[in-house]
Structures are given as C-alpha cells and as structure tokens.
C-alpha cells in the first residue's frame, strides 16, 4: 500500500532586503519538507500574502518601510492568525524591543538573520521555522481592538488563595518558559511592586544573542530590577535574574547563583531542570516553581523534584498556552500542585507581595 505523501510546509518570506529574501528562500527551498509560496518586502505585503495564500508559517523582518514587522504581526494575529517567526539582523535595543513586542502580539519566536558564512545559524533558523509551522495559533487582541469583556479575576480568586503560612514561608520563585513565554512573563511581572519581597529566577528559552535584549525588555515592563545573572550573585528581594546566553543557572546550598556550561538538556542550555532541581535542594518547601507555555518537556523533571520537596508548583493552563507542551508534561508527570491561568498566577504573586512580614534572603 502506497503511503500518502506528506504535504510540504508552505512558507511566506517577508524582508525588505532582496539579498536577505533570496538567502531565506534558498534555505527553505533546499529543504525537501518546505516550499516558499510567497515573498514580500514590507508589512503590507505580509498582510496581503497571508490573507491570500494562507501559509503554514511566515518569517517576518522587523524594520521595514510602510508597515513594520510589529504592526504586521498585530494585524495578522488579529485578522488571520498564522504562525510567525521574527527574523532580525539587528540586536540593537530598538529592534530587539520590537522583536519582543512582536512575541507579545502573537509571534512565536525570534531568531537572528543568518549570513552566507554562518551554517549553524542557517540550520537553527530552518529547524525553528519547521517547528513553529506545526503550532496551532489563536486570534490575538490588542488595546486598539480589545476582545469582548471577560469575567474579573477576583470572581475566581477563592480557588487560588494561598494560606498565610505559605505566604510567609516562600523565599524564592523560579519560572520556566519557552515558546510564547515572553508575553506571559511580562503579564506576571508588570503588576509587581519594586519592593516585592521575594527574589525571582527565570529560565526563558531564547535564541542565542537575545538574552540581554529579553532582560532589558522585561526590565522596562516592570518596577522590579530585571538583569542577567552573574556567577556568585546572591538573589535579592525586588530583583529578577535570568541566565546569560548558553549558560545553565542554579542556586547552590549557600543560596548563591552558579552559572556553568553543563550538559545541555535535549539541546537546551539554559535548561529549567537545573534551576528547579537546585531550588528543591536549596529551598525545598520554601520555593515556588512555575512552568509556563512552551514546546517539549524542559523543567518537568526539576519541577517534580521541587513538588516532592514540598514546594508550591504551578503549571499554566492549556487554554492560555501558545504551546501546551511543558505544562502538559508537568501535569502528566504529577509535578504540579495547581493548574492556573496567567491571571490567577498573577493573583498568587500579588498575595505574596502583600504579605505582612518580610524575610531576609541572605
């Protein structure tokens, strides 16, 4: 019996540089699983081509004439939801900020634009585009075109209350996120006050070169101090630390940050497993572990260890995830105590912010 031939991944390439477009087209056409069905030089082209061709995935430049990549992403995700991969050559602050705003608007990931003499980046781009083409995306709403009113978070607050004892004992919060994570992280951190009494450590999977930009972008979204960690840092109240590119981050038993180039977990460095395992050892029941939207299962094994150590463990719910991969695996492996929406996770963090007695974290 003949096997049905698998349909190719249909790609639209948007870039205002003819040279860059030609390189991207050549890369995708060279892969037997991919087919470029349209190209354009600005956001207007992107919107028109996506509406007409309904591709499986779009690669989107950021800085373009007429309509830039951010606005095009907002329009596409509002009108014709389609997987979008942001591809940018510049790591300047303005372009990186636009890239992360695009992720908040619904783009799935951001990658560096490859060069002819950079086969590793070319391979990473092709792999990322193929993976994102398989993600089911949903309509996104922006402030100018708000979605219909939803019930207030307070209506279900009783379901996510934490006990006064838990509020007082928490000394560390660890968060893991991947695809779709930056926007959720911004949502969770934005309401927190500058004097939030508990340090926060985050592992968010990003393409090499984007860690600094992500920290700077999140720092502008919240009153907390968001920065890349350095080896030997001591986590402080009111601060959020993230690992630099290509480093695992963990906390030792003296509660000091360690950065190291250990074995990647399924190609991932940093891996949230290292972070969560270290929180289980160093903090046990006084740590909170949160696993957010993302592909794969990174963080699940470490979160299970934290759960077994008595820590409060939370997974983002399926309905709100861009990709229900990491949370799904955490739930399946009985690594979480609660499954909550970002609004309800934010409600728990707000309860921790209001606790009466502050602790010393040294």
* One-character DSSP codes across 285-307: GGEEEEE-SBSS-TTHHHHHHHH
pLDDT at res. 136: 83
Q: Are 180 and 127 part of one and the same domain?
A: no
188 & 335 share domain: yes
Q: Do 202 and 344 reside in the same domain of the chain?
A: yes
Per-residue pLDDT of the chain (362 residues; tens, 9 = 90+): 455 566 899 999 999 999 999 999 999 999 999 999 999 999 999 999 999 999 999 999 999 999 999 999 999 999 999 999 999 987 788 889 999 999 999 999 999 898 878 888 899 899 999 999 989 886 655 544 444 444 343 334 445 788 888 888 999 999 999 999 999 999 999 999 999 999 999 999 999 889 999 999 999 999 999 999 999 999 999 999 999 999 999 999 999 999 999 999 999 999 999 999 999 999 999 999 999 999 999 999 999 999 999 999 999 999 999 999 999 999 999 999 999 999 999 999 999 988 654 444 44
- pTM equals 0.89
Peptide bond into 270 cis (omega under 30): yes
Q: What is the CATH number of the domain that holds 286?
A: 3.40.50.180
Same domain (yes/no): 110, 245: no
Q: What is the pLDDT of residue 140?
A: 56
Do both 198 and 113 map to the same domain?
no
Residue 235 is given by DSSP the state -
* Same-domain status, 268 and 348: yes
Let me know if residue 324 belongs to a domain.
yes
In a domain, 140, yes or no: no
Paired sense of beta strands 248-251 and 257-260, if any = antiparallel
Choose the catalytic residue: 16, 45, 61, 298: 298
Same domain, 244 and 344: yes
From 56, 68, 95, 178, the catalytic residue: 178
**Is 142 among the domain residues?**
no
Does residue 158 sit within a domain? no
Inter-CA distances, 116 with 48, 90, 109, 113, Å? 29, 16, 22, 10
User: Which of 322, 314, 332 lies closest to 159 in space, CA to CA?
Assistant: 314
pLDDT of residue 359: 46
Instruction: For residues 175 and 177, give the distance between their C-alpha atoms in angstroms, rounded to a whole number.
Output: 7
DSSP 296-350: S-TTHHHHHHHHHTT-EEEEE-GGG-SSBSHHHHHHHTT--SEEE-HHHHHHHHH
In a domain, 159, yes or no: no
**Two structure tokens written together for 302:** 């470490």
Is there a catalytic annotation at residue 248?
Answer: no
Determine the Cα angle at 163 with ends 159 and 165, to 5°. 165
Q: What per-residue confidence (pLDDT) applies to 138?
A: 66
User: Is 336 within the bounds of a domain?
Assistant: yes
Residues near 245 by Cβ (< 8 Å), separated by ≥ 6? Answer: 206, 208, 209, 210, 211, 212
- CA 278/CA 284 separation, integer angstroms: 9
Query: Do 285 and 175 have their domain in common?
Result: yes
Q: Are residues 188 and 264 in the same domain?
A: yes
Q: What is the pLDDT of residue 167?
A: 85
Domain contains 4: no
How many structural domains does the chain have? 2
pLDDT of residue 347: 94
How many CB atoms are located within 10 Å of the residue 123 CB? 12
Residue 163 annotated among the catalytic residues of the structure: no
Q: Is 178 a catalytic residue?
A: yes
- Do 311 and 208 lie in one domain? The reply is yes
Residue 358 lies in a domain: no
Q: Spot the catalytic one: 68, 128, 205, 286.
A: 205
pLDDT recorded at residue 11: 98
- Give dist(CA 158, CA 261) in Å, integer: 43
In a 13 Å sphere around the CA of 9, the CA atoms on its Cβ side amount to: 25
Indicate the residue among 132, 155, 189 that finishes a domain: 132
DSSP three-state, residue 223: coil
Asked if 335 and 252 sit in the same domain, the reply is yes
Cα dihedral 113, 57, 61, 49 sign? positive
Mean residue pLDDT of the chain comes to 90
pLDDT of residue 315: 98
Q: Which domain holds residue 186?
A: 164-353
Shared domain check, 111 and 46: yes
């Amino acid at each position: 019996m003949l096997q049905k031939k698998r349909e190719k991944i249909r790609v639209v390439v948007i870039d205002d540089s003819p040279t860059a477009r030609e390189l991207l087209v050549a890369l995708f056409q060279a892969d037997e699983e991919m087919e470029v069905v349209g190209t354009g030089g600005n956001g207007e082209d992107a919107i028109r081509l996506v509406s007409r061709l309904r591709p499986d995935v779009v690669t989107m430049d950021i800085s373009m004439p007429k309509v830039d990549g951010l606005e095009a992403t907002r329009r596409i995700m509002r009108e014709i939801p389609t997987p979008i991969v942001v591809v940018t050559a510049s790591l300047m602050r303005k372009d990186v900020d636009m890239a992360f705003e695009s992720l908040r608007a619904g783009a799935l990931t951001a990658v560096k634009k490859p060069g002819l003499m950079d086969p590793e980046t070319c391979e990473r781009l092709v792999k990322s585009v193929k993976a994102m083409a398989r993600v089911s995306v949903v309509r996104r709403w922006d402030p100018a075109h708000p979605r219909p009113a939803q019930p207030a978070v307070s209506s279900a607050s009783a379901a996510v209350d934490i006990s006064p004892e838990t509020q007082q004992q928490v000394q560390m919060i660890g968060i893991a996120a991947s695809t779709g994570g930056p926007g959720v992280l911004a949502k969770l951190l934005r309401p927190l006050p500058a004097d939030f009494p508990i340090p926060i450590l985050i592992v968010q999977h990003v393409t090499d070169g984007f860690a600094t930009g992500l920290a700077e972008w999140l720092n502008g979204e919240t009153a907390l101090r968001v920065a890349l960690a350095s080896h030997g840092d001591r986590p402080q109240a009111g601060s959020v630390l993230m690992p630099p590119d290509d480093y695992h981050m963990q906390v030792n038993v003296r509660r000091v940050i360690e950065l190291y180039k250990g074995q990647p977990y399924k190609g991932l460095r940093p891996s949230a497993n290292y972070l969560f395992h270290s929180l289980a050892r160093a903090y046990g029941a006084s740590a909170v572990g949160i696993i957010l939207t993302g592909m794969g299962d990174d963080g699940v094994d470490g979160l299970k260890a934290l759960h077994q150590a008595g820590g409060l463990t939370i997974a983002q719910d399926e309905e709100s995830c861009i990709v229900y991969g990491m949370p799904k695996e955490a739930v399946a492996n009985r690594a979480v105590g609660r499954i909550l929406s970002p609004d309800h996770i934010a409600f728990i963090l707000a309860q921790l912010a209001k606790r009466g007695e502050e602790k010393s974290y040294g």
